[in-house]
Structure 1
Amino acid sequence: MSVLVPDVTAAPPRTRAPQPVGVLIGTLVLAILTFQLNATLLSAALPAVGEQLGESTQAVSRVQSTFFLAGAVFGVVFSRWSDFLGRKRSLVIVLALLLIGTVICALAPSLPVLLIGRVLQGASNATFTISFLLLSERLSSRLFGISVGIITSVNGGLFGLDGFLGGVVTDTIGWRFLFVITLGLGLAAITCVLLFVPLDAPRNRDGSMDWWGAGILSLFLVLLTSLISQASSSGWSDALTLGYLVGTIAAGALFVTVENRTRRPLIPIRALRSRQVWPLLLTTVLTLAGVFSALNFTVVMLSQDERVGYGLSASMSALLYLTPTAFVGVTAAIFSGYLAVRIGWITSLRLSSGLITVTAVALALFSADRWLVFGLLIVMGVFYLGLFQSSVNGVSVLNSPPEARGALPGLNGACFGIGIGTGIALVAPVVATASVAGYQSALWISAGLTAASFLASLILRPAA
């Protein structure tokens, strides 16, 4: 299988020595950490957040699902807008929104106010896709593959220590201090971006951003996530569920109509229909829905359940079931981009997706054994945080239509958030029963989602 290389024909010439490449990658890693730590630090703190704000388990799950849904919307908008605005300017804007949202979260007196802050924090999701685009335009094929692995490794946070840190801070100082930590990181990130990321020219000089398409697609994403959440809690015959279903279908049809009539669409519909695009998006949604809901929600809740679970504290839960997984995932991701270049990006994607499915099934079968779960999560870290995420990020850049370079990475980034939000929405009702059957059912739901993602990856084809 041939290995695709990034389109660098229109990239600005590199006039510096190789040393600034390391500075650039380091700056982008710092920017991406602002998103990742806002996602992982709070995972172990969810029970404490619910207790202090007087909210149920299902209600407090929206702290995470809202964050990722907002990330999906902002990721699409800012990734494509960066084609017109420039990569550096876009990074500065999303980091500024993150800082505002973090201050709101730290001071939030209630769950609704906390959710508003999480929406603004979700803008930082765009740091991933903008960074991949920026690197693909400046680096060779080999260096691009290596940088994809390094950037993807940030998905594991601080080698897994962020999950443990979140638990310790929650148990000692309190969960609000987690936002003080991310505020400091955000200030450092925006400073480094201003100092070290070169100011780049827009990729698209003619035409303007398709704001109608962006708005309609954002509405579609919100309605789709709301549909799945409402259906999982109230059933498909519920009046509100049916309303969301009608709205989702109408928004999807309107998006296709508008994009077909726009001179420079958010993404060409012909590309969206191709086997180079839609199977990739489906693979990302299903994998994230299955894996994140199992690792960062069901297992966390199971491990802290004193009645039918493992009865661990927040810090011990993070130490055993979040930190080791992230640590091995970060380590594997560093080398995964190099491996993907050698064996082919899509081959790497299929291999990791298949192995994730096998691991997810084993996790559902042996959920009662805390030490076997511990070992399976480490295996999952290698294939999910390591190989899969590097592969899917690389393919999203290489398969993106040349006339809309920011389109597919933006949509793929949105699928990360949609997948995570969807997965949590699907398993939250059964996890909320706090029973052995409920936890096992949630893990089987996650396993089914990963199996479907593997089938979707077999349909995917490389761009010509």
Structure 2
Amino acid sequence: MSTSAPPTPAAPAADADRHLGGRLALVLLAMLWPAQMLTVAGVFTALTQASVAQHFHTTQIAWFTLVYSLVVTCVTPFVARAGDLFGRRRIMLVILAAGLVGDLLVAMAPNYEVMLLGRGLAGLYGPMAALVYASARDVFPPRHVGLATGAIGSSAGIVLVTCPLLGGWLLDHYGFRGALWALVVGVALGFVLVLCFVPKIPPTETNVSFDWWGGLLLGASATAMIYAIGQGGAWGWTDLRLLGLLGLSVVLATLFVLAELRAAEPLLDVRMLARREVCSVLVGTAIGQGTFFAAGGMIVFVALFPHIPGVSDGLGWSGTHNALVGMPSGVLIILVGLAAGVLTRRIDPRIPWRIGLAITTVGLVGQGLYHHDETQVILFGCLTNLGAGLVLACAGILLLGVVSPREQGVASGMSVMLTNLMSTLAAQIMFSALNGDSRVLNGTSFYLDGALRSAYFALAACMAFALLLSAFIPKVLRSDQIESGTVTLPV
């Protein structure tokens, strides 16, 4: 009679899996924290810019955010390429350290000029998300890469829940410098997390060369366009300066394409953009995400602007009250994003992506019609963010499914650039709609209900356009089919 030996290796294997799962959770935290610092910086600086303008007596407060966006746009192609050449973890640490110096300058600035210099330096960590999304593919195995990518995208919901509350409290009790010092602490913590928990990721390119001319042409083209769009409301959309900058942007972009086609080691393989799946995903996801980020600014005019009959139809809430009302929709983004990461292991990612765009479009229309009390703001805010959770989570997963591991770094960089550009464009469309029914009182523009409604409808149209473009996205890989997990983690 024979007997079977007990399966003694099972316990060590299960123990190893648990340890590896814990390690992956720490790596995910170390990635999503710095990846969201750009969003955190946007929330904190938006809260502080009015106080900064009054403290330094400047009429050029628009540069407080514009210089940051310009730097992010300009350096993103360099950062994405450097990650491929020198290892993404190493470049993460470099740009976080440089951005930390910038945020320190902003927090301690004795004058507005030094503050703008600091804001420019802080923009160096803006491309962090491009490195994080590319690194997620390196670190997480196929079983987990979709969930991790979805969590990184939807973690913006955590920012939208916590940062307005924290930033408003700091502003009320410690002034604008208190909020800016908190930003310094956040970036420093991100540096420590990456240093301690993100594994070393080897370069994906062995031939160490850098296409400086290509990067300068691409960065200059994108910067000229961002600046022109940013000044559209002030200059007018037919102003010769604006048209000249847009023309310059087109010329520089053309020169970039010609240079890349001839370069031995191009910064960006433009032939990759000729592939329908890559082009449609990059453009569609940039419009969807960019429109959502721009729409986040509407709550300032709806909730925080005062109610002045005949002048302003804002609700006049405090920052704390507004943050509390927005908490349910922020939590919803996180939950939906995590669900999308699991769902895309089983179904075509285009399905939840398109559903998300459709729900967000309907939610923005609903917000345009119903934004007059807490109940309406919560209900339609939740509807919009239900769709946005799918949009933010699936954008990165779609990109993983149409590019190879070698192309991932460059593709993620292009995604960040295009999203930044589309967010600026959507914001200008929003402001153009707002200005159609505005009133000026004591030098400040206020908005009536018709302006708020038109702005929401304009944003809904942008989201609907992204939905239309998504029809041209061909079939992509499910998250469990994506080639990933090339870096071995210690157990």
Fold in common (TM above 0.5): yes
CA contact (8 A) 2:367 2:380 kept: yes
For residues 111-141 of structure 1, what are the alpha-carbon distances to aligned partners after superposition, in whole Å with 9 as ceiling and x for unaligned? 5543332232223232222122222123222
Indicate the residue corresponding to 2:441 in structure 1.
none
- Provide the residue aligned with 2:179 in structure 1: 178
Q: What is the CA-CA distance between 1:213 and the residue it aligns to? A: 1.6
Cα separation, partners in 2 of 1:328 and 1:70, compared to 1, 3 Å? farther
CA distance in 1, matches of 2:278, 2:61: 34
Give the TM-score normalised by the residue count of structure 2: 0.83
Are 2:234 and 1:230 equivalent residues in the alignment? Answer: no
Distance 2:124 2:400 in 1: 20
Q: What whole-Å deviation, never above 9, does each CA across 1:298-328 have from its counterpart, x for those lacking one?
A: 221331211221011222223324x333222
Q: Distance in 2 between matches of 1:253 and 1:261?
A: 13
Say whether residues 1:435 and 2:447 are aligned partners. Answer: yes
Which residue of the partner structure matches residue 9 of structure 1? none
Report 1 or 2 for greater relative contact order, CA contacts < 8 Å, sequence distance ≥ 6.
1
Structure 1 letter corresponding to 2:345:
V
Where does 1:63-78 land on structure 2 (aligned, <5 Å)? 63-78=64-79
Distance 1:110 1:422 in 2: 30
Letter in structure 2 aligned against 1:337: G
Shift of 1:254: 0.7
Question: Which segments of 5 or more consecutive residues in structure 2 lack a partner in the other structure?
Answer: 1-16, 436-443, 478-491
Give 2:377's aligned residue.
373
Q: CA deviation at 1:167?
A: 1.4
Which residue is equivalent to 1:10? Answer: none
Q: Which amino acid aligns with 1:433?
A: S
Question: In the aligned structure 2, how far is the partner of 1:214 from the partner of 1:331?
Answer: 38
Match of 1:354 among 354, 358, 379: 358
Q: Does the Cα contact within 8 Å between 1:80 and 1:407 map onto a contact in 2?
A: yes
Q: Which residue in the other structure is 2:215 paired with?
A: 214
CA displacement 1:168-188 (0-9 Å, x = unmatched): 211221122112112122222
The one-letter code matched in structure 1 to 2:223 is: V
Aligned to 1:303: 303
TM-score (norm 1): 0.88
Query: How far apart in 2 are the matches of 1:289 and 1:61?
Result: 19
Identity %: 22
Higher Cα Rg, which structure: 2
Residue 106 of structure 1: how far off its partner (Å): 1.0
Q: 2:203: which partner in 1?
A: 202
SS in 2 for 1:434: strand
Aligned residues of 2:398 and 2:476 also touching (Cα < 8 A): no
Q: Give the 5 Å matches for 1:44-59.
A: 44-55=47-58
Partner of 1:421: 424
Equivalent in the alignment of 2:32: 29
Structure 1 unaligned runs (5+)? 1-13
Conservation of the 8 A alpha-carbon contact between 1:220 and 1:252: yes
1:104: how far off?
A: 1.7
Where do 4+ consecutive residues of structure 1 move more than 4 Å?
109-112
**CA contact under 8 A between 1:72 and 1:416: conserved in structure 2?**
no
Q: How far 1:62 moved relative to its partner?
A: 4.5
**Residue identity matched to 1:301:** F
- C-alpha RMSD of matched pairs (Å): 2.5
Question: Pairwise mapping of residues 400-415 of structure 1 onto structure 2 (< 5 A)?
Answer: 400-401=403-404, 403-415=406-418
Q: Distance in 2 between matches of 1:277 and 1:271?
A: 7
5 Å-filtered alignment, 1:334-345, equals 334-345=338-349
Q: Deviations over 1:413-445 (max 9, x none)?
A: 222222222233333463673121333332222
User: Given that residues 73 and 223 in structure 2 are in contact (C-alpha distance below 8 angstroms), is that contact kept between their aligned partners in structure 1?
Assistant: no
